Amino acid sequence: MTSLLIRGAALLGSEPADLRVRDGIIVDRGSLAVEASERVIDAAGLVALPGLVDLHTHLREPGGEASETVLTGTRAAAAGGFTAVHAMANTSPVADTAGVVEQVLRLGERAGYAEVRPVGAVTLGLAGEQLAEIGAMARSAARVRVFSDDGHCVHDPLLMRRALEYVATFDGVVAQHAQEPRLTVGAQMNEGSLSGELGLTGWPAVAEEAIIARDVLLAEHVGARVHICHLSTAGSVDIVRWAKARGIAVTAEVTPHHLLLTEELARGYDARFKVNPPLRRDEDVQALRAALADGTIDIVATDHAPHPAEAKECTWAEAAFGMVGLESALSVVQQAVVDTGLLGWADVARVLSTGPAAIGRLAGYANPLAVGTAANLTLVDPSHRRTWSVDDLRGRSTNTPYRDRELPGRVVATVFRGVPTVIDGAVVDPDIVAAAHLEVRRG
């Protein structure tokens, strides 16, 4: 029997209490006495949250191991307080068959740092021409419920309609990368006066908004769920708000970086800030924050996109899109919407844990920190401040936009299925994590 006592944590940011974890389950909460042979974590001054869930992670494996592996990516996830991640399908080979999604599932189980839920591709090879094996992936051991061609837009309206009809038969969801390809040929940054000044091809807001408008109407027409990846414009917020008021089953996510950073960062041509969709205007950032606060935007998702150094340490035009974000997500959310008074910690639990779990149909997160539930939790020190550096990263790539930037908050501990994966801010060795999981299973 394994037993862990977390003492004095502010549960969801409210009054301090103790949590007892036994054999992977939260078995008691309140004012608790230490029992014999019990491991104790002193959590005074810390906020206890349910383990974070990311609906949008790029783990790169198979095929992109130079950037990230399932092991290194889930270590980064644990460092950021995550206990579950949804791994996007744009691997090599693409996760468009039952075999590939089951491979990713097994790699996650072997790593032991987080539950890895594979995302299946909507179309074969992400080519946008023929539907992938959606039913086979849904019936596989991976039980895929989220399908996305992320990195590419499902731009053919008939294919999108068929995909929505298909996933509706088993309560799945299509997560759309909203980018009209004809309007973004050669696009490098947000379209506006700054893109003209810098001489970079603009990425118009309407390229995102037009796809969202089309897809919410398609979802309504066929009675399916559609999820919009990484909203970035105020206009997109308006469309999602309108669709929800109409009763359409649409959910939406925003990335931490779109809640904090603006297009002004492109002035230095530093490719760390090149991302898809691009950083937008301050007016868009404020609209996204307000939409997250009022529930129009359902969740925060990292779009963690690791790249090797050579893909980012080059000219802006040649650089790859994307930035890593698992380790920094909670700090950025704290700065953007908690420290500004827009959200409390219970709201953070909703947008970074229970909300994404619900969209992905991931079990075990509906009643955060309740007795009888799986012990997936995160302890955060909100008073901590630090200047971010690559030493804070635990994945394989270092393309963070926050280097040399001060951010609040620190994940002190992460517990996945009763097993500490992060203690005192340090990621636990994989052999120790594996042995602890084995001990929990033995009970």
Known binding positions for substrate: 58-60, 90, 276, 307, 321-322
Q: Where is the binding site for Zn(2+), in residues?
A: 56, 58, 150, 177, 230, 303
Q: How far is CA 433 from CA 1, 76, 133, 398, 422, in A?
A: 16, 14, 34, 24, 10
Q: Where is the binding site, in residues?
A: 56, 58-60, 90, 150, 177, 230, 276, 303, 307, 321-322
Active-site entry in 303, 381, 391, 424 = 303
In whole angstroms, give the CA distance from residue 144 to residue 96.
11
- Pairing, β 25-30 against β 16-22: antiparallel
Q: Is 303 a catalytic residue?
A: yes
In whole angstroms, give the CA distance from residue 178 to residue 311.
24
Supply angle C-alpha 323, 328, 331, rounded to 5.
Answer: 140
In whole angstroms, give the CA distance from residue 297 to residue 415.
27
CB 400 within 8 A of CB 323: yes
Q: How far is Cα of residue 216 from the mean position of the Cα atoms in its chain?
A: 22
Catalytic residues: 303
